């Protein structure tokens, strides 16, 4: 019998908590317990890296570093590196909307205080633990800490706007910067030390509860990132260090003008010449944090959409062959079996599916895409699913199911008439009258033959567009939704646990551990 499981998509910033955004402290551990009570065996998160302008986890300032915003200050207080007064004055914000920028700025100052306290008062064992961490992660940590310190010193400007000797990483300039910003560099190292310790504790909690963690690895890295600053030769940049062309996708379900992401494109032959080490280390680092990886924009590994750097939208572009099987063969040789889920959405060709099947990677099916006029819609209908699949009601890029049901065409290639047909078919397919479409869609993916079914927490709560996580091709206002603590109640957990049991996705043992047990 195949192993069937279900889980919930919730990024840690969406957790409740007192400091403006969710973190890896008590609320995260309570949520893991609530998942277990709800019969769920998987927790999916978005990329965990430090975010820059726009707050997008998919435009992280580092592929390896953790987001300092996720560090729990309460844990640091309990460890003695902060006191109660340090935790006062946090940006209040709205209970269900994070102010990510304000929360991060406030938290960075507290992390710097904790770093000073650690440096002054850590005993030999704890100091040695940090130094061991620094040595173990030296391949990326020292560059990241200097990059972050320099970025702060230059008012947040991108590395291409720094003085030329620093932008070009001239050795004398780097040495002088490390000396000048030694305290700031140490604070960044300490923040990473705290992040990884806290994430390791949360992962251990999830394992004890039988919960698998699924992370998300973006195909591209941000132009303003430590990786592009340190390894510009692996990217297609011009003489000034700016992208010669940028990444995105052509017009689609989400946007009539496509999505111009703006990330620099890889020089794939340069990556290959160094034995694919850049990608091997990216994946190795991700697997140190999670059990499975959703491989974002899998389509781009077979062929990617190249947009001229000066083009304002993604409409004008071309498909260019990607690295294909060569990359995955190298990853397989270096790392063994690849616990990837291929995000095979968008313009999917037979060549893309052949690449996915060659390496035995499960794909994705989004139920919100199942009812429209698109020729690929039948592949998203549960009666056409295969077992080796992850089925979703929607993802972080979709509106919530309730919002989708109440909404119209939005900024997409669909017409109002197409939307009306889509909704009529959805009612017929799901066998409902429209009163609980989120519940019907959750039940549909759980009942399917897909080995794994995932739904955003917003859909379990029946929330509307006000709880949407991201609207693709827009900037500002995204990634901010937070769940209220009282929403994670026993009644909802019992309802989800019953559904998981009915469709053979609950843990093998009927008796589930209480969220109040540690």
Q: Is 296 a catalytic residue?
A: yes
Q: Which two tokens stand for residue 433?
A: 């009258």
Nearest Cα residue to 349 out of 330, 322, 367: 322
DSSP code per residue over 70-87: GS-HHHHHHTTSS-GGGG
| Ranges of H-type helices in 234-324 | 268-273, 277-287, 299-302
As a whole number of angstroms, the distance between CA 238 and CA 135 comes to 34
DSSP-assigned beta bridge partners for residue 246: 264, 307
Whether 397 is a known active-site residue: answer: yes
- Provide the sign of the torsion angle of the four alpha carbons 85, 89, 90, 95, taken in this order: positive
Cβ atoms < 10 Å from Cβ of 382:
21
Helix (H, G, I), strand (E, B) or coil at 395: coil
Own/partner long-range contacts of 457-460 (Cβ < 8 Å, ≥24 apart):
457/8, 457/9, 457/10, 457/14, 457/483, 458/400, 459/393, 459/394, 459/400, 459/401, 459/402, 460/8, 460/492, 460/496
Going by C-alpha positions, the residue among 282, 156, 309 that lies closest to residue 227 is 282
Exposure string of 159-169, with b = 16+ CB inside 10 Å and e = fewer, is bbebeeebbeb
Which of 252, 296, 422, 451 is catalytic? The answer is 296
Instruction: Catalytic residue, from 23, 37, 55, 343: name it.
Output: 343
Cβ neighbours for 26, distance < 8 A, ≥ 6 positions apart: 17, 72, 74
Residues 6+ apart with CB under 8 A from 10: 31, 43, 44, 45, 456, 457, 483
Instruction: Report the distance separating Cα 260 and Cα 250, nearest Å.
Output: 8
44 φ, ψ to 5°? -100, 135
Beta strand pairing call for 303-308 and 245-249: antiparallel
Q: Which of 23, 397, 399, 459 is the catalytic position?
A: 397
Catalytic residue IDs: 296, 343, 397
């Amino acid at each position: 019998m195949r192993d069937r499981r279900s889980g919930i998509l919730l990024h840690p910033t969406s957790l409740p908590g007192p400091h403006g955004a969710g973190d890896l402290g008590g609320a995260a551990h309570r949520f893991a317990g609530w998942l277990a009570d709800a019969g769920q065996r998987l927790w999916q998160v978005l990329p965990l890296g430090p975010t820059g302008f726009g707050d997008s986890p998919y435009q992280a300032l580092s592929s390896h570093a953790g987001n300092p915003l996720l560090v729990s200050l309460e844990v640091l207080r309990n460890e003695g590196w902060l006191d109660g007064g340090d935790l006062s004055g946090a940006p209040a914000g709205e209970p269900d909307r994070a102010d990510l920028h304000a929360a991060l700025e406030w938290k960075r100052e507290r992390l710097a205080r904790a770093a000073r306290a650690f440096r002054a008062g850590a005993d030999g064992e704890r100091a040695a633990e940090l130094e061991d961490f620094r040595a173990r992660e030296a391949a990326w940590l020292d560059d990241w800490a200097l990059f972050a310190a320099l970025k702060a010193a230059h008012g947040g400007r991108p590395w291409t706007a720094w003085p030329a000797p620093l932008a070009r990483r001239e050795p004398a300039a780097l040495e002088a910067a490390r000396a000048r910003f030694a305290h700031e560099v140490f604070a960044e190292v300490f923040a990473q030390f705290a992040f990884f310790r806290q994430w390791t504790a949360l992962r251990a909690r999830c394992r004890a509860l039988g919960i698998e963690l699924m992370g998300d690895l973006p195909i591209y890295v941000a132009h303003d990132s430590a990786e592009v600053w340190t390894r510009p030769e692996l990217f297609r940049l011009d003489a000034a260090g700016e992208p010669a062309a940028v990444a995105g996708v052509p017009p689609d379900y989400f946007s009539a003008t496509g999505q111009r992401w703006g990330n620099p494109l890889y020089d794939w032959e340069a990556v290959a010449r160094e034995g694919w080490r850049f990608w091997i280390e990216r994946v190795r680092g991700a697997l140190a944090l999670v059990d499975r990886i959703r491989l974002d924009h899998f389509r781009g590994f077979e062929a990617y959409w190249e947009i001229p750097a000066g083009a304002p939208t993604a409409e004008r572009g071309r498909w260019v062959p990607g690295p294909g099987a060569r990359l995955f063969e190298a990853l397989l040789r270096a790392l063994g079996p690849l616990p990837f889920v291929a995000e095979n959405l968008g313009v999917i060709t037979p060549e893309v599916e052949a690449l996915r099947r060659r390496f035995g990677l499960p794909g994705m099916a989004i139920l919100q895409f199942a009812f429209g006029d698109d020729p690929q819609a039948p592949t998203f209908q549960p009666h056409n699913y295969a077992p080796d699949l992850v089925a979703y009601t929607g993802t972080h890029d979709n509106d919530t199911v309730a919002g989708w049901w109440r909404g119209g065409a939005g900024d997409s290639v669909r017409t109002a008439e197409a939307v009306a047909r889509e909704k009529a078919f959805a009612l017929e397919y799901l066998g409902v009258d429209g009163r609980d479409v989120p519940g019907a869609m959750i039940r549909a993916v759980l009942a399917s033959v897909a080995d794994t079914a995932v739904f955003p927490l917003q859909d379990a709560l029946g929330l509307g567009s006000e709880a949407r996580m991201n609207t693709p091709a827009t900037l500002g206002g995204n990634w901010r939704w937070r769940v209220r603590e009282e929403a994670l109640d026993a009644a909802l957990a019992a309802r989800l646990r019953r559904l998981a049991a009915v469709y053979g996705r609950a843990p093998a043992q009927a008796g589930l551990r209480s969220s109040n047990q540690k």
